[in-house]
């Protein structure tokens, strides 16, 4: 047996261990779930908080960025629920089915009932774990390769309190987007761990919106994950809006499995939190699947945002596109690590990845690592990456036509980000995020 190299635990790691031990008894689920939680926590402890020597976390060293671990959030009180009532601000103008989670707990009285929609079932994770101890629902079949050994995901599995478990029956077309509203409403610096699952059966169509927000003056921590199964010929659009409070730490994981002829469009909008990490593990497991992953990150101050994705083409004939844009002001830092994997029998894969960073300040930093790992020969794969400042010529062109400098800049930035936002299929959501971008630019001095 190999001896594990023991590293000295950081304060945050010790605190996490203490929190896990203290809150074990009130985490939902029976003995089987408890066992899985123990196992997941052991995996986390073995790996420790991800740090820069772990390649996948090279630029986001949690040993540095996460100095301490906050205690698990208590169930929301009346005041917190009241604050959660109006959350979902950035996309609130869009008619949607709302499911509200305050401080990591489902709040039925603030939520729309989606159960009576034909072909849609939804239970809260806490209820499901309490009712039947089928914890195995969260040991997804693709776990071994897709993020299965990621420490942050393991920690989420160990500590998950609640989330939405949604099933869309075969052929169902959901009329309006389903909106999961995650709000950190308590005034205490706490941590929440939410885990959701959405299974979209063959031929069904749905748009899922996830929004995350909280108070600017509380340094809370959010860990959230979504297991998504896109059935054969199903169509799923997901839009994730990250608008956490200014001092928050936000770590989100998406594990998606895309079936034959199915389509997944994912968009991640990031505008909040001090530290953000979005990790996506997407597997095309059915032939001719079509995947589009996109994102826009608007950062200022000392915001740090990291998007890390692994797109695994396990079978042939799939098409994938990625477009990620980052606008970096002040001393902010953006990290993009994208890996396209094409397995040996995944012939006729067509994969393109593009990542672009716009640096508005001399102190901003953009790190990108677009990776290709290809084992099949009959493929078309490519990636592009750029980093740079605004094009002075374009700016001059606009200014020569009487547009003041800051407006010219705003226009150019808007069009830069717009490229990515335009990949959102839903008109209302696209407009809402475009509007949020304009507002963000307006706040720029």
Partner 1 sequence: MPALQETVDQVRSIDVDQYKYGFVTDIESEKAPKGLSEDTVRFISAKKNEPEWMLEWRLAAYRRWLTMTEPTWARVDYPKIDYQDLYYYSAPKKKGDGPKSLDEIDPEILATYAKLGIPLREQEILAGVLKPQSDDNDEDDQPKGEQRRVAVDAVFDSVSVATTFQEELKRSGVIFMPISEALREHPELVRKYLGTVVPVTDNYFATLNSAVFSDGSFVYVPPGVRCPMELSTYFRINEKNTGQFERTLIIADKGSYVSYLEGCTAPMRDENQLHAAVVELVTLDDAEIKYSTVQNWYPGDSVGKGGIFNFVTKRGDCRGARSKISWTQVETGSAITWKYPSCILRGDNSRGEFYSIAISNGKQQVDSGTKMIHLGKNTTSRIISKGIAAGKSNNTYRGLVSAHRKAANARNFTNCDSLLIGHHCGAHTVPYIEAKNATATFEHEATTSKISEEMLFYCMQRGISAEEATALVVNGFVRDVLQQLPMEFAVEAQKLISISLEGSVG
Residues in contact with partner 1 by CB under 8 A are 55, 344, 357, 359-389
Q: Are 263 and 238 in contact (CB under 8 A)?
A: no
Compare residues 69 and 357 and give the one whose CB is closer to partner 1. 357
| Location of structure tokens 């469009």 | 265
**Cβ-based neighbour number of residue 405 at 10 Å:** 11
| Location of structure tokens 């203290």 | 22
In sequence order, the 6+-apart residues with CB closer than 8 A to the CB of 129 are 28, 29, 30, 33, 135
Task: Give the nearest distance from C-beta 150 to partner 1 in angstroms.
Answer: 18
Residue 397 to residue 395: CA distance in whole angstroms: 5
Compare residues 53 and 170 and give the one whose CB is closer to partner 1. 53
The continuous run of DSSP H or E covering 187 comes out as none
Task: Give the nearest distance from C-beta 353 to partner 1 in angstroms.
Answer: 9
Alpha-carbon dihedral 335, 242, 166, 161, rounded to 10 degrees: 90
Task: Give the nearest distance from C-beta 137 to partner 1 in angstroms.
Answer: 35
Q: Where are the beta strands (DSSP E) in 329-434?
A: 333-342, 350-359, 365-374, 380-388
Compare residues 220 and 336 and give the one whose CB is closer to partner 1. 336
Q: How far is CA 209 from CA 198, 345, 436, in A?
A: 12, 34, 16
Alpha-carbon dihedral 415, 420, 423, 426, rounded to 10 degrees: -80
Compare residues 339 and 430 and give the one whose CB is closer to partner 1. 339
DSSP3 helix / strand / coil % (the chain, rounded to 5): 25, 35, 35
Q: What is the DSSP string of 116-154?
A: TSTTEEEEEHHHHHHHS--GGGGS-TTTTTTTTT-HHHH
Task: Give the nearest distance from C-beta 373 to partner 1 in angstroms.
Answer: 5
In sequence order, the 6+-apart residues with CB closer than 8 A to the CB of 39 are none
Pairing of strands 319-328, 350-359: parallel
Task: Give the nearest distance from C-beta 55 to partner 1 in angstroms.
Answer: 7
Compare residues 5 and 400 and give the one whose CB is closer to partner 1. 5
Compare residues 94 and 323 and give the one whose CB is closer to partner 1. 323
Compare residues 358 and 436 and give the one whose CB is closer to partner 1. 358
Compare residues 277 and 356 and give the one whose CB is closer to partner 1. 356
Compare residues 310 and 359 and give the one whose CB is closer to partner 1. 359
12: alpha, beta or left, given left = phi > 0 and alpha = psi -120 to 50?
alpha
Q: Are 275 and 299 in contact (CB under 8 A)?
A: no
Task: Give the nearest distance from C-beta 383 to partner 1 in angstroms.
Answer: 5
Compare residues 94 and 359 and give the one whose CB is closer to partner 1. 359
Nearest C-alpha neighbor of 334 from the set 304, 309, 369: 304
Nearest C-alpha neighbor of 410 from the set 345, 338, 327: 327
Task: Give the nearest distance from C-beta 336 to partner 1 in angstroms.
Answer: 9
**Cβ-based neighbour number of residue 333 at 10 Å:** 21
Compare residues 189 and 354 and give the one whose CB is closer to partner 1. 354
Token pair in block for residue 260: 């034959």
Residue 128 to residue 195: CA distance in whole angstroms: 12
């Amino acid at each position: 047996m190999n001896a594990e190299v023991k590293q000295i635990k950081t304060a945050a790691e010790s605190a996490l261990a203490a929190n896990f031990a203290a809150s074990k008894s009130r985490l939902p689920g029976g003995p089987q779930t408890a066992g899985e939680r123990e196992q997941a926590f052991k995996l986390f402890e073995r790996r420790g908080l991800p740090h820069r020597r772990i390649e996948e976390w090279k630029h986001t060293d949690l040993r540095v960025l996460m100095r301490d671990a906050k205690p698990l959030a208590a169930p929301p009180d009346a005041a917190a629920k009241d604050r959660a009532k109006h959350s979902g601000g950035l996309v609130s103008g869009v008619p949607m089915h709302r499911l509200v989670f305050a401080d990591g707990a489902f709040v039925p009285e603030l939520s729309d009932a989606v159960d009576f929609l034909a072909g849609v079932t939804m239970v809260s994770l806490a209820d499901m774990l309490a009712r039947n101890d089928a914890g195995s629902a969260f040991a997804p079949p693709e776990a071994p390769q897709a993020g299965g050994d990621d420490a942050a995901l393991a920690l989420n599995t160990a500590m998950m309190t609640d989330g939405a478990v949604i099933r869309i029956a075969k052929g169902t077309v959901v009329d309006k987007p389903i909106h999961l509203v995650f709000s950190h409403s308590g005034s205490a610096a706490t941590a929440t761990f939410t885990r959701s699952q959405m299974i979209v059966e063959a031929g069904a169509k749905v748009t899922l919106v996830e929004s995350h927000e909280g108070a600017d003056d509380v340094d809370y921590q959010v860990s959230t994950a979504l297991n998504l199964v896109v059935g054969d010929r199903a169509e799923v659009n997901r839009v994730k809006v990250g608008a956490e409070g200014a001092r928050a730490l936000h770590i989100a994981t998406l594990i998606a499995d895309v079936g034959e002829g199915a389509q997944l469009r994912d968009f991640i909008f990031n505008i909040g939190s001090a530290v953000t990490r979005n990790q996506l593990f997407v597997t095309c497991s059915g032939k001719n699947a079509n995947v589009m992953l996109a994102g826009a990150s608007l950062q200022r101050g000392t915001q740090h945002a990291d998007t890390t994705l692994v797109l695994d083409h396990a079978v042939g004939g799939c098409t994938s596109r990625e477009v990620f844009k980052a606008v970096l002001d002040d001393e902010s830092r953006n990290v993009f690590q994208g890996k396209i994997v094409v397995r040996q029998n995944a012939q006729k894969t067509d994969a393109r990845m593009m990542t672009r960073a716009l640096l508005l300040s001399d102190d901003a930093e953009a790190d990108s690592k677009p990776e290709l790992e290809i084992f099949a020969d009959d493929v078309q794969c490519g990636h592009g990456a750029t980093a740079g400042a605004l094009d002075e010529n374009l700016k001059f062109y606009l200014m020569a036509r009487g547009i003041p400098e800051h407006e010219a800049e705003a226009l150019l930035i808007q069009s830069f980000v717009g490229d990515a936002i335009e990949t959102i299929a839903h008109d209302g959501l696209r407009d809402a995020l475009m509007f949020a971008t304009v507002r963000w630019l307006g706040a720029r001095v």
